[in-house]
Structure 1
Amino acid sequence: MVTTGAGAPSDEPRRGSPETTQQPAKKTSRAGRDLRAAIAVGVGIGAVLVATLLFAPRCWVVLCAGAILVASHEVVRRLREAGYVIPLIPLLIGGQVTVWLTWPYRSGGAVAGFGATVVACMVWRLFMQDNRKRPEPFAGSPSANYLRDASATVFLAAWVPLFASFAAMLVYPKDGAGRVFCLMITVVASDVGGYAVGVLLGKHPMVPAISPKKSWEGLAGSLVFGITAAILTATLLAHKPLWVGALLGVVLVLTCTLGDLVESQIKRDLGIKDMGRLLPGHGGLMDRLDGVLPSAVAAWTILTLVR
């Protein structure tokens, strides 16, 4: 799963993190990426996805389950560094339950798994110790910041495992592999178009307070590339009418861009640049899933409900 949003990646400053230590400078593109590493990692991930969908489509669910395990852990680690008290164990187990229940029960399984995860996390947080220095009577009390921590946990349970369950559900119909290709190819095309046009022509920032390097020109590039890719994949691989492909393209570009902006804002709130360093040239896995996850919800909705 690979994505950013329209234009270039965001450039949130690093603060309050071990990653602030001085390291040798690396060659980066104008947009701030280690472009060679980013391309190599992207091609490698793409090859794995293509091979999986061509030869063992149901293994897509395995990839989704593994991805949310890593991504959830990345976000929890960052939240804990910022002082949040997040129940990791029920979140990780519940995330797996949410995705795997889609295999026998489809959308009903996803909703049931998400609900059970939320309940388990809310109860678990009641008994977690908050050891940060606080005035009495809240010092060391599980009640300190319960509402904040529980809200962040519920948000995370929806953002990663619930949204990923929609990606998993794409593969179950007879043309499931084609539907997953619709999602992934459109998201990648949107990313590439936004990145290229944003770097070459970007002059008008979209939301400089959140992501200074994203431009309206980049969004236009994302729309052109993304809609073209969606029309081709939806008509050829998912056997949908041309207008459905065009609708899919517009919606996926918008959800991909908004997903990236949401994560950029979260990273700004936390004072970090990346969720992790797992993928050279990209950051953490969650930095590549930020646009894919909400786009998976949109893709499943359109390809399932729109005839």
Structure 2
Amino acid sequence: MQQKDRRQLRAQFEANRQKFDAANARVTERVGRNLVFALASGLLLAAIFLISVFVWTPLLLVVALLFGIMAMIELATAFRQAGRRVPRIGVSLGGAAILIGAYFWGLEGLLWSLFGAALFLMLWRAVESIIPGWKVPWRTLIADLASGVFTLVYIPFLLGIAVNFVKIEPYGEWWVFTLVLLPVVCDIGAWAAGVSFGKHKMAPRISPNKTWEGFAGAAATAVIAGALAAHFFLQQPWWLGVFLGLAVLITATAGDLVESLIKRNLNVKDMSNLIPGHGGLLDRLDSILPSVIPVFMAAFLIGVI
């Protein structure tokens, strides 16, 4: 009797597992991601972020260094597929200097370290170009240098501004939290509305999964989250949060589309397979990085930075 019960339980478990796998496969086909892996990875990243912001702030620099260097290596590797050589060690060292300068010496340190890192990277690439076997035409060298400087500005410079938010008095940690929260809820709102109602493609040649219905869902969640974050987290008027949410909606969507365009031109689906269900780190930062700009402008205009 017990053996029969065990067989029935095993059969029921196997049937439920098959149903779950089939449902997950349908969702994966629709959204292009393994939802289970994506959720698990997202929760782990969220836990690391929350601990670094609210529990032990010095960990934020460590997290920014780790994520920033890996994202720079992903982008430098992608550039190489397009025939542009961005030195991975050089850009990693320069990016680390930018983040350290921002954390310890604020915006002035951020600007000076960006200047120094750009010179260092350009010198590194120039020296490489005179080594026998690595010589390239001057037009190619200029394209390599421009790609390297773009990598420094796009990733560690913007991350450095975000890290500097934590020093805002008061509520610095909540500014950092809001910066990450708004692009994330935009992504969630776009995904939920797109899966449920998506019919009209936004940019089919660049990002086939994006729809105008998804954009509307992202707009709704961004406005609501922005108003709530401004009132409860930042202690600012709710209407400021509405404008901030709309601004982040534009920058997050643009950042996602630009990275999709880069990946399409390089013929890659993801920058890497580092994060299960998400792709590479840059695939998760693509909407957050450009959103640093409107959040910084809001903080600057109201005089908290």
Q: What is the TM-score when the length of structure 1 is the normalising length?
A: 0.85
Aligned length: 276
2:276 corresponds to 1:247? no
The structural deviation recorded for 1:68 is: 0.5
1:153 to 145, 148, 169: 148
1:11 counterpart residue number:
none
Displaced runs of 4 or more, over 6 A = none
Identity %: 33
> Over residues 220-273 of structure 1, what are the superposed CA-to-partner deviations in whole Å (9 max), with x where a residue is unaligned?
111110111111112111111112111110111111111111111111111111
2:189 to 175, 186, 193: 193
Tell me, in whole angstroms, the C-alpha distance in 2 between the residues paired with 1:80 and 1:130.
18
Stretches of structure 1 that go unaligned for 5 or more consecutive residues are 1-25, 132-137
1:121 counterpart residue number:
121
2:168 to 169, 173, 196: 173
Name the one with the larger helix percent. Answer: 2
CA contact (8 A) 1:178 1:238 kept: yes
1:39 counterpart residue number:
39
- SS of the equivalent of 2:167 reads coil
CA contact (8 A) 2:128 2:134 kept: no
Q: What amino acid does structure 2 have at the position aligned with 1:243? A: W
The structural deviation recorded for 1:140 is: 4.3
CA contact (8 A) 2:86 2:145 kept: yes
Tell me, in whole angstroms, the C-alpha distance in 1 between the residues paired with 2:61 and 2:217.
31
Tell me, in whole angstroms, the C-alpha distance in 2 between the residues paired with 1:140 and 1:107.
37
1:1-20 equivalent positions in 2, closer than 5 A: none
Tell me, in whole angstroms, the C-alpha distance in 1 between the residues paired with 2:286 and 2:54.
25
Tell me, in whole angstroms, the C-alpha distance in 2 between the residues paired with 1:232 and 1:194.
19
1:100 counterpart residue number:
100
Segment of structure 1 superposing worse, 38-47 or 26-35: 26-35
Tell me, in whole angstroms, the C-alpha distance in 2 between the residues paired with 1:111 and 1:261.
27
Tell me, in whole angstroms, the C-alpha distance in 2 between the residues paired with 1:232 and 1:29.
34
* Pair 1:302–1:286, CA change in 2 (3 A): same
2:288 corresponds to 1:288? no
The structural deviation recorded for 1:130 is: 8.8
2:54 corresponds to 1:54? yes
Tell me, in whole angstroms, the C-alpha distance in 2 between the residues paired with 1:157 and 1:206.
30
Segment of structure 1 superposing worse, 75-84 or 65-74: 75-84
2:258 counterpart residue number:
262
Tell me, in whole angstroms, the C-alpha distance in 2 between the residues paired with 1:42 and 1:140.
41
Tell me, in whole angstroms, the C-alpha distance in 2 between the residues paired with 1:65 and 1:240.
30
CA contact (8 A) 2:96 2:156 kept: yes
- SS of the equivalent of 1:283 reads coil
- SS of the equivalent of 2:83 reads coil
1:6 counterpart residue number:
none
- SS of the equivalent of 1:170 reads helix
> Over residues 7-30 of structure 1, what are the superposed CA-to-partner deviations in whole Å (9 max), with x where a residue is unaligned?
xxxxxxxxxxxxxxxxxxx93141
* Pair 1:229–1:150, CA change in 2 (3 A): same
2:275 to 247, 272, 279: 279
1:141 to 135, 139, 157: 135
The structural deviation recorded for 1:139 is: 7.2
2:233 counterpart residue number:
237
Tell me, in whole angstroms, the C-alpha distance in 2 between the residues paired with 1:267 and 1:121.
24
CA contact (8 A) 2:227 2:242 kept: yes
The structural deviation recorded for 1:54 is: 2.0
Tell me, in whole angstroms, the C-alpha distance in 2 between the residues paired with 1:170 and 1:204.
38
Tell me, in whole angstroms, the C-alpha distance in 2 between the residues paired with 1:107 and 1:130.
35
RMSD: 1.9
CA contact (8 A) 1:202 1:215 kept: yes
Tell me, in whole angstroms, the C-alpha distance in 2 between the residues paired with 1:127 and 1:143.
14
The structural deviation recorded for 1:98 is: 0.8
- SS of the equivalent of 2:272 reads coil
Tell me, in whole angstroms, the C-alpha distance in 2 between the residues paired with 1:203 and 1:81.
33
The structural deviation recorded for 1:87 is: 2.0
Tell me, in whole angstroms, the C-alpha distance in 1 between the residues paired with 2:272 and 2:89.
19
Stretches of structure 2 that go unaligned for 5 or more consecutive residues are 1-23
* Pair 1:200–1:120, CA change in 2 (3 A): same
Tell me, in whole angstroms, the C-alpha distance in 2 between the residues paired with 1:193 and 1:289.
17
CA contact (8 A) 1:278 1:284 kept: yes
Q: What amino acid does structure 2 have at the position aligned with 1:267? A: K
- SS of the equivalent of 1:240 reads coil
1:163 to 131, 155, 158: 158
Tell me, in whole angstroms, the C-alpha distance in 2 between the residues paired with 1:111 and 1:29.
44
2:301 corresponds to 1:305? yes
